[in-house]
Structure 1
Protein backbone atom coordinates (compact mmCIF):
# COMPACT_ATOMS: atom_id res chain seq x y z
CA UNK A 1 0.00 0.00 0.00
CA UNK A 2 1.33 3.44 -0.96
CA UNK A 3 2.28 5.91 1.74
CA UNK A 4 -0.70 8.34 2.02
CA UNK A 5 1.56 11.25 2.94
CA UNK A 6 3.69 10.80 -0.20
CA UNK A 7 0.56 10.47 -2.33
CA UNK A 8 -0.97 13.66 -0.89
CA UNK A 9 2.30 15.53 -1.47
CA UNK A 10 2.44 14.32 -5.08
CA UNK A 11 -1.14 15.45 -5.75
CA UNK A 12 -0.48 18.83 -4.11
CA UNK A 13 2.66 19.39 -6.24
CA UNK A 14 0.75 18.41 -9.37
CA UNK A 15 -2.00 20.93 -8.61
CA UNK A 16 0.48 23.73 -7.87
CA UNK A 17 2.43 22.95 -11.07
CA UNK A 18 -0.73 23.05 -13.16
CA UNK A 19 -1.73 26.39 -11.63
CA UNK A 20 1.67 27.96 -12.37
CA UNK A 21 1.65 26.65 -15.94
CA UNK A 22 -1.79 28.10 -16.63
CA UNK A 23 -0.76 31.43 -15.03
CA UNK A 24 2.32 31.70 -17.26
CA UNK A 25 0.30 30.84 -20.34
CA UNK A 26 -2.28 33.50 -19.50
CA UNK A 27 0.47 36.11 -18.93
CA UNK A 28 2.10 35.26 -22.25
CA UNK A 29 -1.17 35.65 -24.15
CA UNK A 30 -1.90 38.98 -22.46
CA UNK A 31 1.58 40.29 -23.30
CA UNK A 32 1.29 39.20 -26.91
CA UNK A 33 -2.07 40.89 -27.35
CA UNK A 34 -0.77 44.06 -25.72
CA UNK A 35 2.26 44.28 -28.01
CA UNK A 36 0.66 43.08 -31.22
CA UNK A 37 -3.08 43.75 -31.48
CA UNK A 38 -5.22 41.88 -33.95
CA UNK A 39 -4.98 43.63 -37.36
CA UNK A 40 -8.02 45.65 -38.40
CA UNK A 41 -9.29 46.10 -41.92
CA UNK A 42 -7.42 49.44 -42.17
CA UNK A 43 -4.17 48.31 -40.53
CA UNK A 44 -2.76 44.91 -41.33
CA UNK A 45 0.39 43.43 -39.84
CA UNK A 46 2.41 41.49 -42.40
CA UNK A 47 3.06 37.86 -41.39
CA UNK A 48 6.26 35.90 -41.80
CA UNK A 49 8.50 36.85 -38.86
CA UNK A 50 9.50 33.91 -36.68
CA UNK A 51 10.87 36.20 -33.96
CA UNK A 52 11.59 39.84 -33.18
CA UNK A 53 15.23 39.17 -34.00
CA UNK A 54 14.21 37.96 -37.46
CA UNK A 55 12.25 41.18 -37.96
CA UNK A 56 15.24 43.32 -36.89
CA UNK A 57 17.60 41.40 -39.17
CA UNK A 58 15.22 41.93 -42.09
CA UNK A 59 15.22 45.69 -41.44
CA UNK A 60 19.02 45.69 -41.20
CA UNK A 61 19.24 44.05 -44.63
CA UNK A 62 18.02 47.34 -46.09
CA UNK A 63 19.76 49.73 -43.72
CA UNK A 64 23.17 48.10 -44.19
CA UNK A 65 22.85 47.47 -47.93
CA UNK A 66 26.10 49.00 -49.31
CA UNK A 67 24.54 49.97 -52.66
CA UNK A 68 21.66 51.78 -50.99
CA UNK A 69 23.92 53.53 -48.49
CA UNK A 70 26.09 54.79 -51.36
CA UNK A 71 23.01 56.17 -53.12
CA UNK A 72 21.72 57.77 -49.90
CA UNK A 73 25.05 59.51 -49.23
CA UNK A 74 25.69 60.66 -52.82
CA UNK A 75 22.95 60.94 -55.45
CA UNK A 76 20.05 61.22 -52.97
CA UNK A 77 21.74 63.34 -50.31
CA UNK A 78 21.01 66.89 -51.52
CA UNK A 79 17.77 65.96 -53.27
CA UNK A 80 16.21 64.52 -50.11
CA UNK A 81 17.48 67.35 -47.94
CA UNK A 82 15.85 69.86 -50.29
CA UNK A 83 12.50 68.03 -50.18
CA UNK A 84 12.55 67.60 -46.40
CA UNK A 85 13.55 71.25 -45.95
CA UNK A 86 10.46 72.26 -47.92
CA UNK A 87 8.22 70.02 -45.78
CA UNK A 88 9.67 71.34 -42.53
CA UNK A 89 9.63 74.98 -43.61
CA UNK A 90 5.89 74.65 -44.27
CA UNK A 91 5.41 73.24 -40.76
CA UNK A 92 7.53 76.09 -39.40
CA UNK A 93 5.39 78.66 -41.22
CA UNK A 94 2.35 77.04 -39.57
CA UNK A 95 3.99 77.38 -36.11
CA UNK A 96 4.13 73.61 -35.63
CA UNK A 97 7.90 73.75 -35.14
CA UNK A 98 10.32 76.54 -34.29
CA UNK A 99 14.04 77.20 -34.02
CA UNK A 100 13.78 76.53 -30.29
CA UNK A 101 12.20 73.08 -30.74
CA UNK A 102 14.03 69.96 -29.61
CA UNK A 103 13.39 67.58 -32.52
CA UNK A 104 13.64 63.86 -33.22
CA UNK A 105 13.55 62.12 -36.61
CA UNK A 106 12.55 58.46 -36.22
CA UNK A 107 14.03 55.95 -38.65
CA UNK A 108 16.39 58.55 -40.06
CA UNK A 109 18.96 56.14 -41.55
CA UNK A 110 21.73 58.58 -42.58
CA UNK A 111 19.97 61.70 -41.33
CA UNK A 112 18.82 63.76 -44.32
CA UNK A 113 15.76 64.77 -42.28
CA UNK A 114 17.98 65.93 -39.41
CA UNK A 115 20.23 67.91 -41.73
CA UNK A 116 17.14 69.51 -43.29
CA UNK A 117 15.85 70.62 -39.88
CA UNK A 118 19.21 72.09 -38.98
CA UNK A 119 19.39 73.99 -42.27
CA UNK A 120 16.07 75.73 -41.57
CA UNK A 121 17.26 76.72 -38.09
CA UNK A 122 16.09 73.85 -35.85
CA UNK A 123 19.59 73.15 -34.56
CA UNK A 124 18.68 70.88 -31.63
CA UNK A 125 17.73 67.92 -33.84
CA UNK A 126 18.77 64.27 -33.84
CA UNK A 127 17.89 61.10 -35.72
CA UNK A 128 17.20 57.59 -34.41
CA UNK A 129 17.83 54.37 -36.33
CA UNK A 130 19.00 50.79 -35.81
CA UNK A 131 22.40 51.77 -37.23
CA UNK A 132 24.03 55.03 -36.06
CA UNK A 133 25.31 57.64 -38.50
CA UNK A 134 27.25 60.20 -36.44
CA UNK A 135 26.81 63.04 -35.86
CA UNK A 136 23.26 63.10 -37.22
CA UNK A 137 21.82 59.73 -36.16
CA UNK A 138 22.16 57.74 -32.95
CA UNK A 139 21.46 54.03 -32.48
CA UNK A 140 18.08 52.94 -31.15
CA UNK A 141 14.90 50.95 -31.70
CA UNK A 142 11.75 52.99 -32.33
CA UNK A 143 9.73 50.37 -30.44
CA UNK A 144 11.72 51.35 -27.32
CA UNK A 145 13.14 54.85 -27.70
CA UNK A 146 16.27 55.47 -25.56
CA UNK A 147 14.95 58.80 -24.26
CA UNK A 148 13.17 59.97 -21.13
CA UNK A 149 9.54 61.00 -20.88
CA UNK A 150 8.72 64.38 -22.40
CA UNK A 151 12.07 64.90 -24.12
CA UNK A 152 11.01 66.38 -27.47
CA UNK A 153 8.89 69.25 -28.78
CA UNK A 154 8.70 67.74 -32.26
CA UNK A 155 8.95 64.24 -33.73
CA UNK A 156 8.90 63.26 -37.39
CA UNK A 157 8.80 59.86 -39.04
CA UNK A 158 8.24 58.43 -42.49
CA UNK A 159 8.79 54.80 -41.42
CA UNK A 160 5.52 53.97 -39.67
CA UNK A 161 5.06 51.15 -42.19
CA UNK A 162 8.21 49.52 -40.79
CA UNK A 163 6.68 49.16 -37.31
CA UNK A 164 5.92 45.55 -36.39
CA UNK A 165 4.15 46.78 -33.25
CA UNK A 166 2.31 49.98 -34.27
CA UNK A 167 0.89 50.57 -30.78
CA UNK A 168 4.38 50.47 -29.28
CA UNK A 169 5.67 52.77 -32.03
CA UNK A 170 2.94 55.35 -31.31
CA UNK A 171 3.17 54.84 -27.55
CA UNK A 172 6.88 55.66 -27.56
CA UNK A 173 6.24 58.83 -29.55
CA UNK A 174 3.60 60.00 -27.08
CA UNK A 175 5.80 59.05 -24.12
CA UNK A 176 8.80 61.05 -25.34
CA UNK A 177 6.81 64.06 -26.59
CA UNK A 178 6.31 67.01 -24.26
CA UNK A 179 2.78 68.15 -23.53
CA UNK A 180 1.78 70.32 -26.47
CA UNK A 181 4.47 68.68 -28.60
CA UNK A 182 3.86 67.89 -32.26
CA UNK A 183 4.27 64.62 -34.15
CA UNK A 184 4.27 64.52 -37.96
CA UNK A 185 3.96 61.23 -39.83
CA UNK A 186 4.30 60.65 -43.56
CA UNK A 187 2.54 57.42 -44.48
CA UNK A 188 1.37 55.46 -47.51
CA UNK A 189 -2.41 55.11 -47.69
CA UNK A 190 -3.20 54.97 -51.40
CA UNK A 191 -0.31 52.70 -52.33
CA UNK A 192 1.55 49.77 -50.80
CA UNK A 193 5.07 50.18 -49.46
CA UNK A 194 8.16 48.07 -50.16
CA UNK A 195 9.11 44.57 -49.05
CA UNK A 196 10.66 45.87 -45.84
CA UNK A 197 7.35 47.20 -44.55
CA UNK A 198 5.92 45.35 -41.56
CA UNK A 199 2.38 46.71 -41.87
CA UNK A 200 -0.01 48.13 -44.45
CA UNK A 201 -2.21 51.16 -43.70
CA UNK A 202 -5.43 51.71 -45.65
CA UNK A 203 -6.76 54.85 -43.91
CA UNK A 204 -5.68 57.29 -41.20
CA UNK A 205 -8.38 56.00 -38.81
CA UNK A 206 -6.10 53.49 -37.01
CA UNK A 207 -3.55 56.25 -36.36
CA UNK A 208 -6.20 58.54 -34.89
CA UNK A 209 -7.30 55.69 -32.60
CA UNK A 210 -3.74 54.83 -31.51
CA UNK A 211 -2.72 58.41 -30.67
CA UNK A 212 -4.76 58.30 -27.46
CA UNK A 213 -3.03 61.23 -25.77
CA UNK A 214 -3.06 63.51 -28.80
CA UNK A 215 -5.39 65.46 -31.04
CA UNK A 216 -5.17 65.46 -34.82
CA UNK A 217 -4.14 68.83 -36.26
CA UNK A 218 -4.50 68.08 -39.95
CA UNK A 219 -4.31 65.49 -42.72
CA UNK A 220 -3.15 66.39 -46.22
CA UNK A 221 -1.65 64.86 -49.32
CA UNK A 222 2.11 64.97 -49.85
CA UNK A 223 4.58 63.54 -52.32
CA UNK A 224 7.26 62.16 -50.07
CA UNK A 225 9.39 59.45 -51.66
CA UNK A 226 6.58 56.95 -52.15
CA UNK A 227 4.48 58.23 -49.25
CA UNK A 228 1.27 60.11 -50.01
CA UNK A 229 -0.28 61.37 -46.76
CA UNK A 230 0.86 63.69 -43.98
CA UNK A 231 -0.90 63.47 -40.63
CA UNK A 232 -0.07 65.78 -37.74
CA UNK A 233 -0.87 65.24 -34.05
CA UNK A 234 -0.42 67.49 -31.03
CA UNK A 235 -0.05 65.93 -27.59
CA UNK A 236 -2.71 67.13 -25.20
CA UNK A 237 -1.87 69.24 -22.17
CA UNK A 238 -2.95 67.42 -19.04
CA UNK A 239 -5.02 69.60 -16.76
CA UNK A 240 -3.59 70.16 -13.32
CA UNK A 241 -5.69 68.76 -10.53
CA UNK A 242 -7.20 71.24 -8.14
CA UNK A 243 -5.77 70.90 -4.64
Structure 2
Protein backbone atom coordinates (compact mmCIF):
# COMPACT_ATOMS: atom_id res chain seq x y z
CA UNK A 1 0.00 0.00 0.00
CA UNK A 2 1.22 3.49 -0.86
CA UNK A 3 1.14 5.30 2.48
CA UNK A 4 0.95 8.84 1.10
CA UNK A 5 -2.30 10.48 2.18
CA UNK A 6 -3.47 7.42 4.11
CA UNK A 7 -4.92 7.95 7.60
CA UNK A 8 -3.30 5.92 10.37
CA UNK A 9 -4.38 5.60 14.01
CA UNK A 10 -1.51 4.75 16.37
CA UNK A 11 -2.18 3.95 20.03
CA UNK A 12 0.41 4.53 22.75
CA UNK A 13 1.91 7.32 20.64
CA UNK A 14 3.68 9.29 23.38
CA UNK A 15 7.00 7.44 23.29
CA UNK A 16 8.88 4.30 22.25
CA UNK A 17 7.60 2.23 19.35
CA UNK A 18 4.39 4.28 19.02
CA UNK A 19 6.17 7.56 18.59
CA UNK A 20 8.78 6.11 16.22
CA UNK A 21 6.01 4.57 14.11
CA UNK A 22 4.22 7.93 13.94
CA UNK A 23 7.43 9.59 12.76
CA UNK A 24 8.09 6.85 10.19
CA UNK A 25 4.56 7.07 8.76
CA UNK A 26 4.69 10.87 8.63
CA UNK A 27 7.95 10.57 6.67
CA UNK A 28 6.07 8.38 4.17
CA UNK A 29 3.37 11.02 3.70
CA UNK A 30 0.68 9.48 5.90
CA UNK A 31 -1.76 11.43 8.07
CA UNK A 32 -1.38 10.26 11.67
CA UNK A 33 -3.93 10.29 14.47
CA UNK A 34 -1.97 9.66 17.65
CA UNK A 35 -4.01 8.18 20.49
CA UNK A 36 -2.69 8.13 24.04
CA UNK A 37 -3.10 9.29 27.60
CA UNK A 38 -0.32 11.86 27.10
CA UNK A 39 0.76 13.70 23.96
CA UNK A 40 4.26 13.04 22.55
CA UNK A 41 6.55 15.90 23.53
CA UNK A 42 7.84 17.97 20.64
CA UNK A 43 6.09 15.98 17.91
CA UNK A 44 4.62 18.76 15.81
CA UNK A 45 3.72 18.12 12.19
CA UNK A 46 0.99 19.42 9.90
CA UNK A 47 -0.18 15.84 9.30
CA UNK A 48 -0.11 14.77 12.96
CA UNK A 49 -3.00 15.20 15.36
CA UNK A 50 -3.16 13.99 18.94
CA UNK A 51 -6.36 12.59 20.45
CA UNK A 52 -6.47 11.89 24.16
CA UNK A 53 -7.59 8.30 24.69
CA UNK A 54 -7.25 5.63 27.38
CA UNK A 55 -7.63 2.39 25.41
CA UNK A 56 -8.75 0.58 28.58
CA UNK A 57 -12.05 2.45 28.35
CA UNK A 58 -14.32 1.42 25.46
CA UNK A 59 -16.32 4.66 25.58
CA UNK A 60 -13.07 6.68 25.40
CA UNK A 61 -12.02 4.61 22.37
CA UNK A 62 -15.34 5.22 20.63
CA UNK A 63 -15.09 8.96 21.33
CA UNK A 64 -11.50 9.12 20.01
CA UNK A 65 -12.60 7.28 16.86
CA UNK A 66 -15.54 9.68 16.32
CA UNK A 67 -13.24 12.68 16.86
CA UNK A 68 -10.62 11.24 14.50
CA UNK A 69 -13.16 10.77 11.72
CA UNK A 70 -14.58 14.25 12.29
CA UNK A 71 -11.13 15.87 12.09
CA UNK A 72 -9.45 13.70 9.45
CA UNK A 73 -12.33 12.31 7.40
CA UNK A 74 -14.29 9.05 7.46
CA UNK A 75 -11.70 6.83 5.78
CA UNK A 76 -9.20 5.12 8.09
CA UNK A 77 -6.72 2.85 6.33
CA UNK A 78 -4.35 1.86 9.15
CA UNK A 79 -4.60 0.97 12.84
CA UNK A 80 -1.46 0.29 14.86
CA UNK A 81 -2.43 -1.29 18.18
CA UNK A 82 0.76 -0.43 20.04
CA UNK A 83 -0.33 0.70 23.53
CA UNK A 84 0.95 -1.79 26.07
CA UNK A 85 2.32 -2.12 29.59
CA UNK A 86 4.26 -4.76 31.50
CA UNK A 87 4.30 -5.61 35.20
CA UNK A 88 6.68 -8.37 36.20
CA UNK A 89 6.99 -10.61 39.22
CA UNK A 90 6.17 -14.08 40.60
CA UNK A 91 2.57 -15.21 40.23
CA UNK A 92 2.06 -15.76 43.97
CA UNK A 93 3.38 -12.30 44.77
CA UNK A 94 1.62 -10.52 41.94
CA UNK A 95 -0.92 -7.74 42.41
CA UNK A 96 -4.33 -8.57 40.94
CA UNK A 97 -4.70 -4.88 40.05
CA UNK A 98 -1.49 -5.05 37.99
CA UNK A 99 -2.77 -8.22 36.30
CA UNK A 100 -6.06 -6.54 35.38
CA UNK A 101 -4.34 -3.37 34.19
CA UNK A 102 -2.17 -5.40 31.80
CA UNK A 103 -5.12 -7.27 30.34
CA UNK A 104 -7.23 -4.09 30.16
CA UNK A 105 -4.49 -2.31 28.19
CA UNK A 106 -2.76 -5.05 26.21
CA UNK A 107 -5.78 -7.21 25.31
CA UNK A 108 -9.09 -5.44 25.88
CA UNK A 109 -7.74 -2.18 24.43
CA UNK A 110 -6.73 -3.96 21.23
CA UNK A 111 -10.23 -5.43 20.97
CA UNK A 112 -11.94 -2.06 21.52
CA UNK A 113 -9.79 -0.25 18.93
CA UNK A 114 -10.09 -3.05 16.36
CA UNK A 115 -13.85 -3.25 16.84
CA UNK A 116 -14.08 0.52 16.28
CA UNK A 117 -12.23 0.62 12.94
CA UNK A 118 -13.38 -2.61 11.30
CA UNK A 119 -16.79 -1.54 9.95
CA UNK A 120 -15.20 1.35 8.00
CA UNK A 121 -12.29 -0.80 6.78
CA UNK A 122 -14.72 -3.48 5.56
CA UNK A 123 -16.81 -0.81 3.83
CA UNK A 124 -13.67 0.50 2.08
CA UNK A 125 -12.56 -3.05 1.29
CA UNK A 126 -9.16 -1.74 2.34
CA UNK A 127 -7.40 -1.58 5.67
CA UNK A 128 -4.43 -2.84 7.63
CA UNK A 129 -4.36 -3.59 11.36
CA UNK A 130 -0.96 -3.97 13.03
CA UNK A 131 -0.96 -5.58 16.47
CA UNK A 132 2.28 -5.06 18.41
CA UNK A 133 2.74 -8.20 20.49
CA UNK A 134 6.10 -9.56 21.66
CA UNK A 135 8.30 -12.63 21.55
CA UNK A 136 6.75 -13.09 25.02
CA UNK A 137 3.76 -14.29 22.99
CA UNK A 138 5.81 -17.23 21.67
CA UNK A 139 7.51 -18.58 24.81
CA UNK A 140 6.93 -18.24 28.52
CA UNK A 141 9.43 -16.61 30.86
CA UNK A 142 9.62 -16.92 34.65
CA UNK A 143 8.24 -13.84 36.42
CA UNK A 144 6.56 -12.65 33.21
CA UNK A 145 3.52 -14.95 33.37
CA UNK A 146 0.93 -12.17 33.20
CA UNK A 147 2.70 -10.24 30.45
CA UNK A 148 3.25 -13.43 28.44
CA UNK A 149 -0.43 -14.30 28.85
CA UNK A 150 -1.49 -10.95 27.35
CA UNK A 151 0.87 -11.31 24.40
CA UNK A 152 -0.17 -14.92 23.74
CA UNK A 153 -3.72 -13.55 23.70
CA UNK A 154 -2.81 -10.92 21.09
CA UNK A 155 -1.07 -13.49 18.92
CA UNK A 156 -4.14 -15.73 19.02
CA UNK A 157 -6.46 -12.79 18.41
CA UNK A 158 -4.38 -11.67 15.40
CA UNK A 159 -4.28 -15.18 13.93
CA UNK A 160 -8.06 -15.54 14.16
CA UNK A 161 -8.72 -11.98 13.02
CA UNK A 162 -6.74 -12.17 9.78
CA UNK A 163 -8.69 -15.28 8.77
CA UNK A 164 -11.94 -13.50 9.58
CA UNK A 165 -11.35 -10.23 7.71
CA UNK A 166 -9.17 -11.19 4.74
CA UNK A 167 -12.27 -11.78 2.53
CA UNK A 168 -13.10 -8.10 3.20
CA UNK A 169 -9.73 -6.90 1.88
CA UNK A 170 -8.44 -6.11 5.38
CA UNK A 171 -4.94 -7.23 6.32
CA UNK A 172 -3.70 -8.05 9.82
CA UNK A 173 -0.07 -8.27 10.94
CA UNK A 174 1.16 -9.38 14.36
CA UNK A 175 4.57 -7.83 15.09
CA UNK A 176 6.56 -9.64 17.78
CA UNK A 177 9.72 -7.81 18.83
CA UNK A 178 12.26 -9.10 21.31
CA UNK A 179 14.39 -6.69 23.38
CA UNK A 180 13.75 -3.09 22.39
CA UNK A 181 15.38 -0.10 24.08
CA UNK A 182 12.38 1.94 25.28
CA UNK A 183 10.93 3.34 28.52
CA UNK A 184 9.19 -0.01 28.97
CA UNK A 185 8.85 -1.20 32.57
CA UNK A 186 10.17 2.15 33.85
CA UNK A 187 13.62 1.78 32.27
CA UNK A 188 15.21 4.84 30.69
CA UNK A 189 16.97 4.42 27.33
CA UNK A 190 20.69 5.15 27.58
CA UNK A 191 22.46 8.10 25.96
CA UNK A 192 24.14 5.73 23.50
CA UNK A 193 22.04 3.05 21.74
CA UNK A 194 22.47 -0.39 23.33
CA UNK A 195 24.06 -2.61 20.63
CA UNK A 196 22.42 -5.67 22.26
CA UNK A 197 18.89 -4.31 21.86
CA UNK A 198 16.78 -3.15 18.93
CA UNK A 199 15.73 0.48 18.71
CA UNK A 200 12.11 1.68 18.44
CA UNK A 201 12.80 2.97 14.93
CA UNK A 202 13.82 -0.58 13.90
CA UNK A 203 10.37 -1.85 14.87
CA UNK A 204 8.75 1.13 13.12
CA UNK A 205 10.66 0.25 9.94
CA UNK A 206 9.32 -3.32 10.09
CA UNK A 207 5.77 -1.98 10.52
CA UNK A 208 6.24 0.27 7.47
CA UNK A 209 7.58 -2.74 5.54
CA UNK A 210 4.44 -4.75 6.33
CA UNK A 211 2.17 -1.83 5.43
CA UNK A 212 3.95 -1.16 2.13
CA UNK A 213 3.72 -4.78 0.94
CA UNK A 214 1.64 -5.15 -2.25
CA UNK A 215 -2.09 -5.39 -1.55
CA UNK A 216 -1.97 -9.02 -2.72
CA UNK A 217 0.48 -9.86 0.09
CA UNK A 218 -0.27 -10.11 3.80
CA UNK A 219 2.63 -10.48 6.20
CA UNK A 220 0.67 -12.16 8.97
CA UNK A 221 3.48 -12.40 11.54
CA UNK A 222 6.83 -10.70 12.02
CA UNK A 223 9.26 -11.95 14.67
CA UNK A 224 12.21 -9.66 15.40
CA UNK A 225 15.24 -10.29 17.57
CA UNK A 226 18.50 -8.47 18.29
CA UNK A 227 21.25 -9.97 16.12
CA UNK A 228 23.67 -10.25 19.04
CA UNK A 229 21.82 -10.21 22.36
CA UNK A 230 23.70 -10.16 25.64
Give 1 or 2: higher strand fraction.
1
| TM-score of the two chains, using structure 1 as the length reference | 0.42
Give 1 or 2: higher helix fraction.
2
Larger relative contact order (CA 8 Å, sep ≥ 6): 2
Larger radius of gyration: 1
